[in-house]
Structures are given as C-alpha cells and as structure tokens.
Amino acid sequence: MSPKKKPPAAGADPPGQADVLRGTTRSSAETQALGRALGEALRAGDWLGLTGELGAGKTCFVQGLARGLGAPPERPVTSPTFVLLQSYPGRVALHHLDLYRLKGGGELAELGYDELCAAGVCAVEWFDVVAGAQAGDGLVLSLELRSARVRAWEARALGPRGRELLGVLEAAGTAGRRPR
C-alpha cells in the first residue's frame, strides 16, 4: 500500500478542506488490511462514502472495516446491492448501504438513515444518487481496479473528522513499506 498526500488545488477549497490521499493495494488481503486499519479507528457517527465500478473492491474494503470494528469472523460480509442494507455487530455497529435503487430522500428516511448514521458507522455505496445522503463530515473513498489484483484508491476528507481519518489511512498505508 503506498499512499501519497495531494495538496488542495489552487482556488479550490480553503487549505485543509479538500485533503486527498492516494494509494494502491496489490491484493485483496491488502485492501482488507487497509479497511481493517481504518475500522479500528472508527467510532459511532462516522460516515464513509464508497465509489467504484463493480468489482473495484468496495465490499472487499468493507470486509476489512467490519473486522476492524470487531464483527465476528464467522459472519460473512457481503454486498448490500440487492438488499439495500447489511448491518454487522461489533465494537460499533457497521451499516453497509447501497443506495443505487433508491429514488429520493423519502426512502432514506424509511430506511432510518439518519438514525443508522448516528448510532453506528455507515459505509455507503452510491451515496451520490440520493440528495441528502452525503455527510458533511467523513471520508469518500474511491476504488479503481487497475489489474486482476491491483486497486488504486483515493480518499477525500470531508470536514475535520475526515481529515483525522485520512491520517489513519496514511499511517496504515505506509506501515512496513516505503512511500512511493
């Protein structure tokens, strides 16, 4: 895993507001380890937006998050694509949502979205298709499959908590490896 911090673009958000970290993982195990390291630092109320094409590694990353949050290893972590929501118990509950099929904010309310996000950690795929689904503070993680095993990732901080979480990813991405 090799993270690189990117400074905000000139004229973009004020300094520190658009912090971005980029890196790569070279196996599913590395993608899960990155998720696990982040999961160990997460607390109730933390929000993660996940983007990436089918097969990019979103569920693989969430498998690591679940283990980092203390979800039992015998509990499989699967994609919520067809069920909208998968929840996993642990030190803090993890709620993995896929909002692709939702048509609007009313359906978010029916899911109890605000309550889920306040009481646990929310990892949300397709957050950008429903108005009001993106938190003001958290982290957006984009994953891209570069080859059969290599995934590129980019984490963008939203607010102060997002910047704290970038620090966790930066530390996890360089543990035992030289930055590239």
Q: pLDDT tens across 141-162, in order?
A: 999 999 988 999 999 999 999 9
Q: How many CB atoms lie within 10 A of CB 112?
A: 13
Q: pLDDT tens across 6-23, in order?
A: 433 333 344 444 499 999
The C-alpha angle 50, 82, 71, rounded to 5 degrees, equals 60
- How far apart, in whole angstroms, are the C-alpha atoms of residue 142 and residue 2? 15
Residue from 143, 117, 127 nearest 42 by CA: 117
Q: How many CA atoms lie within 13 A of 73 on its CB side?
A: 2
Residue 96's pLDDT band, with cuts at 50, 70 and 90, is very high
Give mean pLDDT, residues 20-40. 95
Give mean pLDDT, residues 98-117. 90
Q: How many CB atoms lie within 10 A of CB 131?
A: 9
pLDDT at position 105 is: 84
Rounded to two decimals, the pTM is 0.84
Q: How far is CA 167 from CA 55, 85, 170, 173, in A?
A: 26, 28, 5, 10
